[in-house]
Amino acid sequence: LGDNKLETSVNHIKYAESCNESLKSVFKEVEAEVLTASGIDLEEVSVTPIGSSIDLVCPRGTKFSFDNDGFVVNDGIFQVVCNTHQKYSIPLPSWPKCVQFCPLILPNPPEHTGLVNVKSEFTTPSGQNARYMCKNSNLGVDQGSSIYYEVECLNNTKYKVPTSKYDWPICEVRTTTMRPEISIGVNNMLNRYKWNINYYYTLYQRGSDFIPKELKDYFSTVTIPCFIGLLVVILFCLCFTRNDSPICLICKDSTLRKKKTLIPLKNFENN
């Protein structure tokens, strides 16, 4: 590459990290029929590079009850990926089971409903839902905000659809004027407000670490002593700084009494 040379010696080649777990520990809760159909031998030690996967399939005529492996939904293949922690991504809380599935094409709805089948690439396993939709996207199912009507796939490989044509929902003018885009925008705004509240609450919690958990009783140690001291100062001012104060009047009366009891010396000399 220009002036650079690509190093291809064995000493400089770094092999990709991989999952070296025992398959027996990884697939210990998987049904034996699934392992057989997938061609997996639990006695082997599989070396799967990070990002690669081990594919599980059900026996013919069945498919997995759920397929949330992060790839194509309900494609009949459940992929267990080797993640960046060098561990297999095991589904929680449990592995999917092999169940019956319903036909790819749903029963035709009555014409007056305004519903049409939603074309799907894969069949729907029992317990999961398939969908109809309003042919006119400006209408809503039973005047609601959604254009979709979901029906469940039962264990007898049939869809749970209304038995009478009068029980089917009808696509009608929506009773709400709120468009889905507005609802999504409002929800996003509310989620942002929630995030801000959580963020500021976290900051407050971090700041509270610097505040003593048990505050002192400042009322008894500061407020009451200050009040008593202020009261003493006020009483002192009232009693000792005015001529007509009670203390001054008492002192004045005692002085007058002393003056009345004194006899001038001239009187004694005259006698």
In angstroms, the CA 49 to CA 19 distance is 6
17 φ, ψ to 5°? -65, 155
Query: Structure pTM?
Result: 0.53
Q: How many domains does the chain have?
A: 4
128 lies in the same domain as 74: no
196 lies in the same domain as 169: no
Q: Is residue 271 part of a domain?
A: no
Q: What dihedral do alpha carbons 61, 65, 67, 72 form, nearest 10°?
A: 40
Q: Is residue 73 part of a domain?
A: yes
43 lies in the same domain as 87: yes
Write down the pLDDT at residue 14. 54
Q: Which domain holds residue 169?
A: 101-173
Is residue 53 within a helix (H) or strand (E), and if so which, with residue range? strand 53-57
Secondary structure class of 131 (helix, strand, coil): strand
26 lies in the same domain as 89: yes
Q: Is residue 195 part of a domain?
A: yes
Secondary structure class of 8 (helix, strand, coil): coil
Q: Give pLDDT tens digits along the chain (271 positions).
A: 445 555 555 454 555 688 877 888 888 888 889 989 988 888 776 778 888 888 899 999 999 998 876 667 888 888 888 888 888 888 777 888 999 999 999 999 999 999 999 988 889 999 999 999 999 988 989 888 889 999 999 999 999 999 999 999 999 988 765 666 677 777 888 887 777 787 777 777 666 555 554 545 666 778 888 889 898 888 887 777 777 766 677 776 655 555 555 555 555 455 5
Write down the pLDDT at residue 19. 83
71 lies in the same domain as 61: yes
68 lies in the same domain as 127: no
Residue located via tokens 């194509």? 72
Q: Is residue 146 part of a domain?
A: yes
Write down the pLDDT at residue 107. 93
Encoding tokens for residue 254?
């005692």
Q: Is residue 51 part of a domain?
A: yes
Domain boundary residue among 81, 99, 117? Answer: 99
62 lies in the same domain as 90: yes
111 lies in the same domain as 139: yes
75 lies in the same domain as 105: no
Please, is 27 exposed, middle or buried when counting C-beta atoms within 10 Å of its C-beta (0-12, 13-18, 19+)?
buried
Q: Is residue 214 part of a domain?
A: no
Secondary structure class of 139 (helix, strand, coil): strand
